[in-house]
Amino acid sequence: MKNNYISKLLLLISFTSVFNFFSKGEITDSLKTIEMNTVVVSANKTDKPLFELTVPAKIITRQEIKNSGFSRLDEIINEQIGIVTVPGYGGSEGVQIQGIDPDYILILVDGFPVIGRVAGILDLSRISLANVERVEIIKGASSALYGSEALGGVINIITQSVEQNKLGSSTYYQYGSFNTHDILANIRYKVKNFHVHGNINYYSSDGFDLIGGDDQKTVEAFNNLTGSVGLGYDFKYLGEIGLGYKRFSENRDGTVFITSPGIESKANTSENNFSIKYRNYISKNLSLNVDFYHSSYESVEEKIDPNNILLKNNFLQSLKRTDIRFKYKTLKNSYITIGFGQDIEAMERTNIISNPEHKSKFTYVQYDWKTNNKLNIVSGLRFDSHKNYNSQLSPKISAKYSYSDNFSIKGSFGYGYKTPDFRQLYLNFVNSTSGYIVLGTKVIEDAIIELKETDQLLFYEELFDTNLLSESSNSLNLGFQYYINPNLPVELNLFRNNIYNLIESNIVGRKINGQTIYSYSNLNKVGTQGLEIQASWLPINRISVKGGYQILYAKDKSAVEDFRSELVYARDPVSGQSFLLKSSDYYGLYGRSRHQLNLNLSYYLNESKDNFNLRINYRGKFGLRDTNNNAFLDKYDRFISGHFISNLSYNKKIMKNLSIQFFVRNIMGYKDVENLLNNPGRSYALKFIFNN
């Protein structure tokens, strides 16, 4: 299969290389273009310049993506202030924003949600950066526009659009450590009212092993292929229409499971997305958007256990979405947006007996009000009605006040939620090795009846509430932006998120044979708060510096109560004795660093924009698990040490259409083989780009 892909790709590359000679160079950005003018679509679901936004947002521009040389989304997102990637099941990488788990961050591509959360985490290394124009990150609860999952924020990946009236193409080939190949071919063509583009991206790696001498690698070999094609036509008075299709497929040779050693396995993942977008400017003040989207995600895992039995784990999820919205411009440049639509979501999965399908309808309204030149208030409200659980009303209000030309204040308050997922509702899973069984809330009552009738049930909590509510949050953000001089903006953002009704598994019964019965309940309350400072500086024409720092407190509220009630002790590792802990000894949630620092320096050598780009990322110490026998993370536990990871890239233009890049990742080679399983140490890569 691998050889087939490579030969097809080489053919495509040679084909597009011919076209390179006929295409002109791309539009060059001026070095001084402050990204503040970049148009952002995610904050309001319509275009709005970054500097006007009333909510905290961060843009990763095309230039930054290019300078970094990264090809997957998780790599570049890990360098943004206040954002870390966290490893998940089977080598996947999820994202954590303002201390909030990956389960609660909505990921979109061109406004359409990415599905396929395995155990709650969306693997961001699936998403290729190949034809990405920019990445928009909106922080804070945003369910007023986007509905479920936008509890901690939204990441929207905007793909390149075809601008110029001609035939254009680009390719690149990158080779790096661990036998990593990354190949891209891209074609675009525009003539009069019609445009078409196609992309194909192949990525493969041998993986790496942190601890040698055993049968398994830390990250196994894998390869994936992303292909997309899009076309559009502008009917002028009848509107514009765009069609898009994207396919992703990945093979992993073997996956690290939490089972005994000596087990062989492989895993395949595939994703198909189809979209139709229609836009019509009905009048000078009124526009209409109609979007239709169908996405399906499939993952198949095969394990051959020591008894040579084949075990298969299948996961298939699909989403069909329709979203229709009108935008009306009122007097004084204010806008009203009204939208409505429907989602149909289905799942088939091993350990889920029925094939559930969920339908939900939604409607939202947003008012973007410019009261005068200084004050802009954006307020929104969304109503989601679900057939299977409680309906949601999600409000949001945000405002920006420009006190002067160089000082402004913005604040936002919003509500977010996440519906219980299919796992929490329908799972029927038996772990024979460890002796427990997990039942989703919609299947547990029937399962208990069956256990009673077959005399297998020892006891069951009759008062257990099987009506699972959505997890919800409210978030508050307060920001100040000050231009010390036109080349030095500084931004300070304070945030607070209260998340409640968090769904956790808990014991609800026991079978006669000793197996514990678990189900899910709305149990927990979590609070995250902190402060983030960002600054960017252009000291001279050739140098750009960007930096940011975040301090974060993320705590479980019932843990705070337990500490306050003097119920928590820790065991001294030397004497074996237990001692009482104070409230201030509670550190917080696992996997969250108190301190985080990111620095991005670029030095441009000449007018061709050859440059050096250095990124220094510091991640403060964090805890992975309890180490002193109290099931909480406290001051006396053992922490994963804080560390620096620095990445350097060098970009050079060789000829009119050819440039090369050289990268060193993790220059100092920092490793923690026991705890940082997604960190292979220092690596290198070399990239050849034909007109990109």
Partner 1 sequence: MKILRIFLISLILLSCSEEEPILGSIETMIVTNLEASTSSKPGDPQSGNFTKFSFSEQSVVEGDDWDIAFRATTILVNGGFPGGEDEPDRTGIGAGYVEVGSYGSINTIDENKFAQDSQSLYAIPTGSGKGWYNYDFQSHVITPIAGRTLIFKTHNGRYAKVEIQSYYKNSPPTPNITSEAQYYTFNYTYQPNKGVLNFN
Question: Which residues sit at the interface with partner 1, rule CB under 8 A?
Answer: 258, 432-435, 458-459, 507, 510, 512-516, 567-571, 573, 576-580, 625-631
For partner 1, the closer CB: 404 or 577: 577
Collect all residues with Cβ–Cβ distance below 8 Å to 462 and sequence separation of at least 6.
none
- Shortest CB 580 distance to partner 1, Å: 6
Q: Is 522 left (phi over 0), alpha (psi -120 to 50) or beta?
A: beta
Q: Is 147 left (phi over 0), alpha (psi -120 to 50) or beta?
A: left
CA–CA separation, 640 and 619 (whole Å):
10
For partner 1, the closer CB: 413 or 622: 622
For partner 1, the closer CB: 87 or 380: 87
What is the torsion angle, in degrees rounded to the nearest 10, for the CA atoms of residue 628, residue 630, residue 633 and residue 637? -10
CA–CA separation, 127 and 11 (whole Å):
24
User: Phi and psi dihedrals of 166, rounded to 5?
Assistant: -170, -175
For partner 1, the closer CB: 491 or 562: 562
For partner 1, the closer CB: 449 or 567: 567
Cβ contacts of 659-667, under 8 Å, gap ≥ 24: 659/688, 659/689, 659/692, 660/686, 660/687, 660/688, 660/689, 661/69, 661/174, 661/686, 661/687, 661/689, 662/686, 662/687, 663/69, 663/176, 663/687
- Shortest CB 445 distance to partner 1, Å: 20
For partner 1, the closer CB: 541 or 558: 558
Instruction: Kindly list the distances between the CA atom of residue 237 and the CA atoms of 37, 191, 193, 211, 288, in Å, as whole numbers in the listed order.
Output: 29, 18, 12, 63, 12
Q: Which two tokens stand for residue 562?
A: 């337990």
The residues that bridge with 683 in the sheet, in sequence order, are 665
What is the torsion angle, in degrees rounded to the nearest 10, for the CA atoms of residue 211, residue 212, residue 216 and residue 222? 90
For partner 1, the closer CB: 163 or 504: 504
CA–CA separation, 688 and 692 (whole Å):
10
For partner 1, the closer CB: 578 or 606: 578
Q: Which two tokens stand for residue 468?
A: 């699972």
3-state secondary structure 567-602: CCEEECCCCCCEEECCHHHECCCCCCCCEEEEEEEE
> 81 with 89: CB under 8 angstroms?
no
Q: Which residues of 208-226 are buried (b: 16+ CB within 10 A; e: fewer)?
A: bbbeeeeebbbbbbbbbbb
- Shortest CB 558 distance to partner 1, Å: 12
For partner 1, the closer CB: 173 or 518: 518
For partner 1, the closer CB: 485 or 565: 565
- Shortest CB 211 distance to partner 1, Å: 14
CA–CA separation, 674 and 682 (whole Å):
17
Alpha helices, DSSP H only, in 408-464?
422-426, 444-453
> 553 with 576: CB under 8 angstroms?
no
CA–CA separation, 614 and 606 (whole Å):
17
- Shortest CB 119 distance to partner 1, Å: 12
For partner 1, the closer CB: 306 or 573: 573
For partner 1, the closer CB: 573 or 669: 573
- Shortest CB 556 distance to partner 1, Å: 14
- Shortest CB 26 distance to partner 1, Å: 48
For Cα atoms 108, 110, 111, give the angle at the middle one, nearest 5 degrees.
Answer: 55
For partner 1, the closer CB: 271 or 562: 562
- Shortest CB 120 distance to partner 1, Å: 15
For Cα atoms 310, 251, 2, give the angle at the middle one, nearest 5 degrees.
Answer: 120
- Shortest CB 538 distance to partner 1, Å: 46
- Shortest CB 105 distance to partner 1, Å: 22
For partner 1, the closer CB: 345 or 634: 634
Nearest residue to 57 (alpha-carbon basis) of 94, 97, 96, 85: 97
Q: Collapsing DSSP states into helix, strand and coil, what is residue 217?
A: coil
- Shortest CB 17 distance to partner 1, Å: 50
- Shortest CB 624 distance to partner 1, Å: 9
- Shortest CB 628 distance to partner 1, Å: 6
> 138 with 189: CB under 8 angstroms?
no
- Shortest CB 85 distance to partner 1, Å: 19
For Cα atoms 244, 249, 251, give the angle at the middle one, nearest 5 degrees.
Answer: 175
Instruction: Kindly list the distances between the CA atom of residue 629 and the CA atoms of 91, 562, 632, in Å, as whole numbers in the listed order.
Output: 28, 15, 8
For partner 1, the closer CB: 81 or 570: 570
> 108 with 155: CB under 8 angstroms?
yes
Residue 16, classified by CB atoms within 10 Å of its CB into exposed (0-12), middle (13-18) or buried (19+), is buried
- Shortest CB 524 distance to partner 1, Å: 14
> 369 with 400: CB under 8 angstroms?
no
- Shortest CB 507 distance to partner 1, Å: 5
- Shortest CB 214 distance to partner 1, Å: 13
C-alpha gyration radius of the chain: 26
For partner 1, the closer CB: 391 or 629: 629
For partner 1, the closer CB: 260 or 467: 260
